[in-house]
Amino acid sequence: MYTLRRWWDRHRLRVILASLAVGSALLIRQTQATPLFEVYQLLSRAFQPNLAKQNLLESAQYQELRERLTELESQNQRLRELLGYVSEAKKPGITAPVVGRSADHWWQQLILGRGSNDNVKAGYIVMAPGGVVGRVTSVTPNTSRVLLLSDPSSRIGITISRSRFMGYMRGQSTSHAVMEFFDKVPDVRRGDVVSTSTLSQLFPAGMPVGRVESVNLNKSPAPEATIELSAPIGFLEWAVVYPHDSAAQPVMEPGQTPDQKSKQ
């Protein structure tokens, strides 16, 4: 026993290191190095801000396409009523960089670097990859002020694309907003697409706004739903401005820049 103890004292560190090496090798072989890959992804994520931002933009773009598809499918049953409608030529959008944004009003308003010299007018619609951003409220020759959907003073008529139940939405100074329904028992569920309604006077109908994140049917005086806005309002660097009557805006491709869009 004494001899074994002396041997252990002399070789203990080597035995422990060898056991750890064998155990790690077996773990990597069985898991196919998945833990190491996850650790690498976690450590390298902080050095890849552009990649994370690109993924968010692509996700917003994908959600916009899905929302537009849902809206078109929902309106398909009413196409017979629109056979006599003749679509006018739509004006191209005006790309505009975000040149001003106050930390105190980050979710309320922003300033775009396009104004009356670029034919931007008050009441024009502002969009970005994902959907509606807000509405132009005032212009100067070279800038325009935008009231964002996330502003608590913002009110917009919206509808559930699947069931066509309507209500109005108000901002919450975050990437989420609250929808209050006109009906006491609306047909709404989590994941439903939300678009501007035909009763909206400030926005054309059928423009993507967001998705239902949660529903509170017991809310008084009317049922409410929490809406996750589909446009990445929190980190916008540019947007596209459209006349109010331009109801069929082109969809921007993921990663496409304003210069690329303006050349098409």
Confidence of residue 87 (pLDDT cuts 50, 70, 90): very low
For 26, phi then psi, to 5°, come to -65, -40
* Reported confidence tier of residue 261, pLDDT bands at 50, 70, 90: very low
pLDDT of residue 253: 37
Note the pLDDT of residue 57: 72
Cα 50 to Cα 38: distance, rounded to the nearest angstrom: 19
- Where do the DSSP E strands lie in the chain? 94-100, 109-112, 125-128, 131-139, 144-148, 155-160, 166-171, 176-181, 193-196, 208-216, 224-229, 238-242
CB atoms within 10 A of CB 42: 9
Asked if 144 contacts 191 with a C-beta cutoff of 8 angstroms, the reply is no
The set of residues, in sequence order, having a beta carbon less than 8 Å from that of 55 and lying 6+ positions away, is none
Q: 3-class SS at 121?
A: coil
CATH architecture of 38-247: Beta Barrel (2.40)
Task: Judge whether residue 192 has pLDDT over 70.
Answer: yes
- With beta carbons less than 8 A apart as the criterion, state whether 132 and 149 touch: yes
Q: By CB neighbour count within 10 A (0-12 exposed, 13-18 middle, 19+ buried), where does 232 fall? A: buried
DSSP SS3 for 256: coil
Tell me the pLDDT of the chain averaged across its residues.
Answer: 78
Sign of CA dihedral 72, 73, 78, 81: positive
Q: What is the pTM of this model?
A: 0.62
- Local structure of 38: helix, strand or coil: helix
- The answer to whether the CB of 254 falls within 8 A of the CB of 57 is yes
- Does 200 score more than 90 pLDDT? no
Locate 1 and state its tokens.
């026993």
Q: Give the pairing type, strands 94-100 and 193-196.
A: unpaired
**How many C-beta atoms surround the C-beta of residue 144 within 10 A?**
26
Instruction: Give the C-alpha separation, 198 to 201, whole Å.
Output: 8
For the stretch 25-49, pLDDT in tens is: 655 555 554 555 555 555 555 555 5
Question: Residue 5: helix, strand or coil by DSSP?
Answer: helix
Residue closest to 95 by CA, chosen among 245, 208, 237 = 237
Q: pLDDT tens digits, residue range 89-145?
A: 355 789 999 999 988 889 999 999 999 999 999 999 999 988 999 999 999 999 999
Contact 189, 211 (CB under 8 A): no
